Chain A
């Protein structure tokens, strides 16, 4: 019966009730939405690279090595010599290796010179490998494979001829325009910096840096080893046994031919993420403020509506309603509104991420979550529901006290 009273009463005040529901839905949307983006950015971030046990580079700061070799954000320092690369490739602990040579760009997108193991061994996320969305992997010195975002933003198709510029970013000062590349393939989206990269072969890199002329004046014969540039910037290593990571890392730091640094990507990713925690906390504080405002709106609206409900309360009290019944009607109402608000907010969020997912992946390389509600969001939802019903406690107590002061006939 009380539920019927509550619902019927709510129905007569449906406009203001709807406004409260929308306000709560908005704050749920903000809180859960911000939390999901935060979580997803973190997940994307930590899944940028996986499966790689060590990244070897010339001696330098570990963070800098991570930034340029994985995120292509910072400028590479010195290179490592090719015979060191060969030493690494032949090392008994090493299962696979990916050379990375940087330093060129195409319209702001970094160019990565590498070999076939990049396609076969590079892993991101939960052991996901790269795949081609269209075309094929490069097979010659004048062929390039684009990351999905590069192709989408610049509108390139297979067969497009592109010119690379010297320098990692910014306006092209020196263009390698006597050695254009042909786009032969486009990678599928990954949500990692791979999407933002242009991939060419090591031969290609070697060629453009010699003015586009072949060393011998002749195109290389098949099998002829032109796949040997002077140096590369980093080598990613996959090991036979993960147990060997630390010992190999120690061994390489004592390598006597040239000074090397080997980093464990997972460890550096964690450190980098911790550095960005301040921004994350700011986001969280914002969403808490939004929730506080929504709950204040809830309390003040219920309080304001109470003045108009004095008669209603007097009738209930006179027919025998005690404190419990008054509380049930009013707290039940705010709990109902909060619940509806939560459902609406989650629904809109779900629809939004469903609608935006393809664009987010293509434009921002961000994978959106596809769930309606995650387990780790339950505490937040629970807190919102609890706060919503607690917000009803203040008006409920006030209604009860009003009825004591009003007696049988409420003042108007």
Chain B
């Protein structure tokens, strides 16, 4: 089975800079695998995630997602591909504050017919029911999930974000320090739930964090500095 994510000879430099900011000679993530990148802030973890998700255009190298040469697609196809195959969780501000939790989760389905059909039918009620089911599995009950997202607590917002990323069982979940603003108990609760649901839906999880302590939730924990080969700038 081909890896869900494969990176070769990736190099990125900021506009106007001579030295490369980020180098990843080789990396692979198997289907359903959970991997943590850890390393200090400012060494390019978020930049790498932007490149993997295809939001920031690649400069050189190759990224393959689910067997597709993702990095050579046009911007438009990359956006559609991301909608179909990736779920993204940020450190904070994951939600559109004026939509309810349910609508925030359904947002993922509105850009991807594939994920919509995988999770539920095409009809709006089915989609909403699926979103509610997912939210309740993440421990959010009916009370808060119809409120606008800005009224939820921070921990609740991160769970809604996780539900959105998982909606429609994408092949790859990308998480950018989703727990860094949580206390250690809520952090572990969220990660446990996230890992559990990833396992259920068969999604691979790639998470970056400056916090190496969360490594026990993952099958593999990679030091970001060792990922970058020789010649990369010191973090």
Contacts and interface: CB of A to CB of B under 8 A. Distances in A.
B94 to A, nearest CB: 6
A408 B79 contact: no
A325 B111 contact: yes
A2 interface: yes
A4 B83 contact: no
A407 B55 contact: yes
Q: Chain A CB within 10 Å — which of B46, B93, B164 has the most?
A: B93
Nearest to A323: B76
A160 B178 CA distance: 91
Interface stretch (B2-10, B95-103, B129-137, B192-200): B95-103
Interface stretch (B32-40, B84-92, B139-147, B215-223): B84-92
A189 B80 CA distance: 68
A84 to B, nearest CB: 83
A408 B55 contact: yes
Nearest to B15: A405
A408 B92 CA distance: 11
A315 B110 CA distance: 13
A321 to B, nearest CB: 6
Contacts of A316: 96, 107
B201 interface: no
B50 A408 contact: yes
Interface in B55-112: 55-57, 75-76, 79-80, 82-84, 86, 88, 90-91, 93-99, 103, 106-108, 110-112
Contacts of B76: 322-324
A4 B99 contact: yes
Nearest to A2: B110
A405 B57 CA distance: 9
A2 B107 CA distance: 9
A122 B103 CA distance: 71
B11 interface: no
Interface in A1-53: 1-2, 4-5, 8-9, 11-12
Contacts of A319: 83, 88, 107-108, 111, 164
A217 interface: no
Contact of A404 (B46, B57, B80, B108): B57
B75 A8 contact: no
A409 interface: yes
B50 A315 contact: no
A278 B57 CA distance: 55
B214 interface: no
A318 interface: yes
A323 B75 CA distance: 9
Given A8-B99, A318-B88, A408 B49 contact: yes
B164 A409 contact: no
A343 to B, nearest CB: 24
B176 A320 contact: no
Interface string B142-179: 00000000000000000000001000000000001000
Interface residues of A, number: 28
B232 interface: no
B134 to A, nearest CB: 15
B88 A404 contact: no
Nearest to A312: B96
A397 to B, nearest CB: 13
A244 to B, nearest CB: 73
Nearest to B115: A320
B98 A311 contact: no
A12 B99 CA distance: 11
A403 interface: yes
A320 B82 CA distance: 6
A322 B96 contact: no
A317 interface: yes
A318 B108 CA distance: 9
A403 B55 contact: yes
Contacts of A408: 46, 49-50, 53, 55, 88, 90, 176
A4 B84 contact: no
Contacts of A323: 75-76, 79
A405 B56 CA distance: 7
Nearest to B127: A1
A321 B111 contact: yes
Contact of B93 (A2, A315, A320, A404): A315
Given A5-B96, A407-B47, A320 B90 contact: no
B93 A311 contact: yes
A315 B49 contact: no
A320 B77 CA distance: 10
Contact of B107 (A1, A322, A324): A1
Contacts of B83: 319-322
B55 A317 contact: yes
A325 B110 CA distance: 10
B91 A409 contact: yes
Contacts of B55: 317-318, 403-404, 407-408
A317 B90 CA distance: 12
A409 B110 CA distance: 22
Given A407-B56, A408-B46, A408-B49, A320 B96 contact: no
Nearest to A321: B111
Contact of B53 (A2, A4, A318): A318
B108 A320 contact: yes
A-B pairs, top 10 by smallest CB distance, nearest first, are: A320-B83, A407-B50, A322-B79, A320-B111, A1-B110, A318-B88, A8-B98, A407-B56, A311-B93, A408-B50
18 contacts: A1-B106, A2-B110, A4-B99, A4-B103, A314-B90, A314-B93, A315-B107, A318-B82, A320-B82, A320-B84, A322-B80, A405-B56, A407-B46, A407-B49, A408-B46, A408-B55, A408-B88, A408-B90
